[in-house]
Structure 1
Amino acid sequence: MSKHDGEALPLAGYDELPVGALEHRLRTLDSAELEVLRHYEHEHANRTRVLEMINTRQLQLAGGGTPSPGGEDLRQTARHTAGGSPVTPATSPEPIHPPPHGTPDQRAKPKGNRP
């Protein structure tokens, strides 16, 4: 959980989450957790779209909806993906050789002109 102003947030890395990802992550929270986010959002960024998503999700829960499964995995994703690409020289593909007809940087030679 993230800590801001002494308040624990139910989503790790909340401030760095794009609005599109946040919409899916809100589905994993219960009403109490959504209320914590609503208060935090209102006091800090006060993004209208995010507040609307929180309100909509709270109405869904009040109407009998339940939090989606997998919430704990989603909450910790931000902690585990704080690096770069998992590609290393060992996992990289073999270099691609230019086609026989040439590339913009390397003109092709007709077969008759080759040594």
Structure 2
Amino acid sequence: MADHARDALPLPDYDHLPTGSLESRVRSLGADEVEELLAYERSHADRLPVTEVLAARLEQLRAGAVPTSGDPGALRPEQGQGRGGSPVSPATSPQPFGAPPHGTPDQRGKPKGDRT
């Protein structure tokens, strides 16, 4: 069942946003919207780094900061990447290498002498 409070948040797919992109994303929000996110965060996941970012932004707004457009290059996982998987292919993979000759069951290491 979908959480109505989550669907009404000012940032789409808020619960799945990477914490690192949140600081630039909340720059476009007003004080009321940041307060709404902060209340939601505290009553749900209550992640300390997230509450710190939201509280700091709320303090900035109350001190006279104005909302900006935010960082257009911020990660936006809710929009999807279009392609998934690893960018590694056989053409970009390194050449295989053998295990070191010491300590393997087939190639025992040489003794280091008498250690008495």
Query: TM-score with structure 2 length normalisation?
Result: 0.60
The alignment status of 1:29 with 2:39, answered yes or no, reads no
- CA deviations on 1:13-49 (whole Å, 9 max, x unpaired) are 2111111111111111111111111111011110111
* CA 5–57 in structure 1, closer or farther in 2 if over 3 Å, else same: same
CA contact (8 A) 2:27 2:67 kept: yes
Instruction: Please show how residues 28-107 of structure 1 align to structure 2 within 5 Å.
Output: 28-69=28-69, 77-81=76-80, 83-85=82-84
State how many pairs are aligned. 91
Mind listing any 5+ residue stretches in structure 1 that lack a counterpart? 86-94, 97-102, 106-115
Q: Percent identity?
A: 39
1:6 corresponding residue in structure 2: 4
Q: Find the residue that maps to 1:9 and give its secondary structure.
A: coil
Mind listing any 5+ residue stretches in structure 2 that lack a counterpart? 85-90, 98-116
CA contact (8 A) 2:27 2:70 kept: no
Partner amino acid, structure 2, of 1:81: G
* CA 9–82 in structure 1, closer or farther in 2 if over 3 Å, else same: farther
Question: 1:82: Cα distance to partner?
Answer: 5.1
Higher strand share: 1
